[in-house]
Chain A
Amino acid sequence: MEVIQTLIVCEKPDAAARVARALDEDGDPHKINARGVPYYEARRRQETIIVCSALGHLYSIDSKGRTPHRYYPIWDYRWEPKHLIDKKSARLNRWIQTISSLARNADRFINGCDYDPEGSLIGYTILRYACSGAHAKAQRMKFSTMTEKELQTAYGTALPQLDYSQVEAGRCRHELDWLYGINLSRLLTESALKQNRGYSTLSSGRVQGPTLKFVVQREEEIQCFTPTPFWTIDATIQHQGQTYPLEYTKEKVPTLAEATQISVDCKNALLEVANIETQTIQQPPPYPFDLSTLQSEAYRHFGYTPSRTLALAERLYLDALISYPRTSSQKLPPDVGYSEILRGIAARAEYRSLVSKLTNRTSLRPNQGPGQDSAHPAIYPTGESPKRRLLHPEANLLDLIIKRFMATFAESSLLETTKLILRKDQHSFFLKGSKLLKDGWIEFYHPYGSEDDQKLPDLRLGDKVPIKKIDALERFTEPPSRYNPSSLLRKMEQQNIGTKATRAEIIEILYRRGYIKDIRIQATPVAAKIISILDRYCPMITDSGFTSQVESQMEEIRSGSATRRGVLGSTLERLRPIMLQLISKEEALGSQLAEAVATQRKSNVTLDHPCPSCGSSLMIIRSRASGKGDA
Chain B
Amino acid sequence: MTCPLCHEEIDVAGAGYCASHQRAFENIKRAFSTWTVAYGSPRVPGFLEQVQKLPQTGLKAKEIASFLLENPSRWK
Contacts and interface: CB of A to CB of B under 8 A. Distances in A.
Interface of A: 220-230, 254-257, 476-479, 532, 536
Interface string B41-56: 0000000000100101
> How many interface residues does chain B have, given as a range?
20 to 34
A255 B41 CA distance: 12
Given A257-B40, A476-B56, A223 B61 contact: yes
Given A223-B20, A226-B57, A228-B34, 10 more contacts: A223-B59, A224-B61, A225-B27, A226-B30, A227-B31, A254-B38, A255-B37, A476-B56, A477-B56, A479-B58
Nearest to A535: B19
A430 B33 CA distance: 31
Contacts of A224: 20, 23-24, 27, 58, 60-61
B60 A223 contact: yes
A227 B39 contact: no
B38 A256 contact: yes
Contact of B31 (A220, A223, A228): A228
A559 B30 CA distance: 50
A159 B40 CA distance: 76
Given A220-B23, A476-B54, A479-B58, A226 B37 contact: no
A226 B58 contact: yes
Nearest to A258: B38
Contact of A254 (B19, B37, B57): B37
B75 interface: no
Given A254-B38, A255-B37, A476-B56, A226 B31 contact: yes
Contacts of B57: 225-227
Contact of B61 (A225, A229, A478, A536): A225
A136 B58 CA distance: 60
A230 B28 CA distance: 16
A225 B38 contact: no
A479 B54 CA distance: 12
A17 to B, nearest CB: 54
A226 B39 contact: no
Contacts of B35: 228-229
Nearest to A477: B56
Contact of B38 (A221, A230, A479, A532): A230
B58 A222 contact: yes
Contacts of A225: 27, 56-58, 61
Contacts of B20: 220, 223-224
Nearest to B63: A223
A226 B40 contact: no
Interface centre among A222, A227, A230, A478 (most CB of B within 10 A): A227
22 contacts: A220-B23, A221-B58, A223-B61, A224-B27, A224-B61, A225-B27, A225-B57, A226-B27, A226-B31, A226-B57, A226-B58, A226-B61, A227-B31, A227-B54, A228-B35, A230-B38, A254-B38, A255-B37, A255-B38, A476-B54, A479-B56, A479-B58
A397 to B, nearest CB: 36
B24 A229 contact: no
B28 A226 contact: yes
B19 to A, nearest CB: 8
Contacts of B58: 221-226, 479
A226 B34 CA distance: 11
Nearest to B27: A226
A229 B61 CA distance: 16
Nearest to A230: B38
Nearest to A228: B34
Contacts of B39: 229, 255-256
A478 B35 CA distance: 15
Contacts of A255: 37-39
A226 B24 contact: yes
Contact of B51 (A220, A226, A257, A478): A226
Contacts of B40: 256-257
A393 B28 CA distance: 46
B48 to A, nearest CB: 10
Contacts of B23: 220, 224
Contact of A228 (B11, B38, B59): B38
